Chains A and B, each alone.
Chain A
Amino acid sequence: MTDQAFVTIRNAAKSYGALEVLKDINLTVNRGQIVAIIGPSGSGKSTLLRAINELDPLTSGEVWLEDVQINKKLPHRQYEAHVNQVRQDIGMVFQHFNLFPHLTVRGNITLAPRMLKGLSEADADKLAEEQLAKVGLSEKIDEYPSRLSGGQKQRVAIARALAMKPKVMLFDEATSALDPELVEEVNLVMKQLAEEHMTMIIVTHEMDFAASVCDRVLFMDQGVVVEEGPPSVIFHDPKEERTRNFLRKHLSR
């Protein structure tokens, strides 16, 4: 199961005009591994995460999911088809949920499986019920997102992503927009995914959470990976001065 390169990023670079946001980043995530990306604001964490599913394509470098290159150079039409295909295998959860307000919870979860996998209404309903049960929101299936709390919205967003049966899940500060008392319910869902050996890449400002669920932590600053290693090393015995400075400001203890 493990020790198998699952997500591979090679020599990733990204610039906006003269601004270099990512500089020669390499990262390998094995199947079932959970990697946290931490770092100061503007260090390129979101950009790196969004490069993995081509939301923000790299300027140069490669992104692979198993044996498929995600950022393949292709003629426009083929590229679109390719990207739409590979994105089905990559779930993403955003800071601001990005639920579809005009659809119920059920509609949010079933839209993509129905359109892309041709599920029947009954099968899609069953899928929605399963995924909602997983995030503990079965009773909200017919609510509109506007009627949910932030924590519930984020759990629905996770259920929506999981309904596509992704191979890997990307989280971009999934709890940053939540009131403090709602953070835990989302963290719990993510921990549960960890126990099920979902491969995850998690951008977070919550060091305690990163320390408790992740196998590896990447510290990024100014577009480079300054240091990476198991949480025990990064959080308790970092080698780099920059990492220590950052953690001094962010560790809650």
Chain B
Amino acid sequence: MGLDFTVVPSYFGVLLMGAGWTIAITICAGLLSFFGGIVFAVIALYGHWSLRLPFRGFAFLFMGTPLLLQLFLIYFGLIQIGIDLPAFVAGVIGLGLHFAVYNSELIQASILAVDKGQYEGARTLGLSRGQTLRKVVIPQAVRAVVPPMGNNMIALLKDSALVSVIGVMELTLAAQQAISRTYRPFEFYLAAAFCYYIVNLALEAGLRRLERRIAASR
């Protein structure tokens, strides 16, 4: 059986739908990983020890174990204690928290790199510690961290394929469905790869624009 790409167009809608879900999950999990990363960074640096210690354990768990396992745990495991999440939500939480931990490491480092003069400038005006963090330190730390955090977002997009195992009908699972009907794995996996590539290009273009926009304000 040779290659026959003519079957692909008839599943175009399925793939497109899958790509749509991939984008949706990437955006939702990306936002969660961004804001979660900021919150985790603040907890890790300034939190009371009763918050910081459990957080360290949690971060270790998320960085030291496979994402696949984390997704199983959130989707199948939590049902046992009465938390029955829709697959999409479980996927967003798993991916989002996983990458939030990585983003938090980056943000922590860049918060610590903010010049002490920035704190002094803000505090002398009368801003409180919290206001100084929110309005002066964190915005600068986040700007500094956009390029490496962009890499995490691209990794997140690619790892979003993993949520196919808990049944979210994203791009990879959509391709698999098409394959199970047509027995044409090469054609559809290649088509899916192409779709990932396009989405990735768009994401990278967006990140570059963002980097350019913040270049003036550094």
Using a CB–CB cutoff of 8 Å, the interface residues on chain A facing chain B are 53, 55, 80, 84-85, 87-88, 90-92, 94, 96-104, 111-112, 115-116, 144, 146-147, 157, 160-161, 164
Q: A98-B118, A102-B217 are in contact. Are A55 and B140 (CB under 8 A)?
A: no
> Chain B, 127-145, contact with A by CB distance < 8 Å: what is the 0/1 string?
1110100011001100100
Which of chain A's residues has its CB closest to B139's CB?
A: A102
Contacts of B140 in A (CB 8 A): 100-102
Prevailing SS type, chain B contact patch: helix
Which of B117, B125, B127, B143 sits near A96, CB closer than 8 Å?
B117
Which of A91, A112, A115, A146 sits near B218, CB closer than 8 Å?
A146
Question: Would you call B117 and A94 a contact (CB within 8 A)?
Answer: yes
Using a CB–CB cutoff of 8 Å, the interface residues on chain B facing chain A are 115, 117-118, 120-129, 131, 135-136, 139-140, 143, 214, 216-218
Q: CA–CA, A116 to B122, complex, Å?
A: 12
24 contacts between A and B (CB under 8 A): A55-B120, A80-B128, A85-B126, A87-B125, A87-B126, A94-B117, A94-B121, A96-B117, A98-B115, A98-B118, A101-B217, A101-B218, A102-B136, A102-B140, A102-B143, A102-B217, A103-B217, A111-B122, A111-B125, A111-B135, A112-B127, A115-B135, A146-B216, A161-B124
Excluding A111-B125, A111-B135, 4 further A-B contacts by CB distance (< 8 Å) are A80-B128, A85-B126, A98-B117, A144-B216
Question: Would you call A55 and B123 a contact (CB within 8 A)?
Answer: yes
Contacts of A99 in B (CB 8 A): 121
CB distance from B111 to the nearest CB of A (A): 13
Q: A102-B217, A102-B218 are in contact. Are A160 and B117 (CB under 8 A)?
A: no
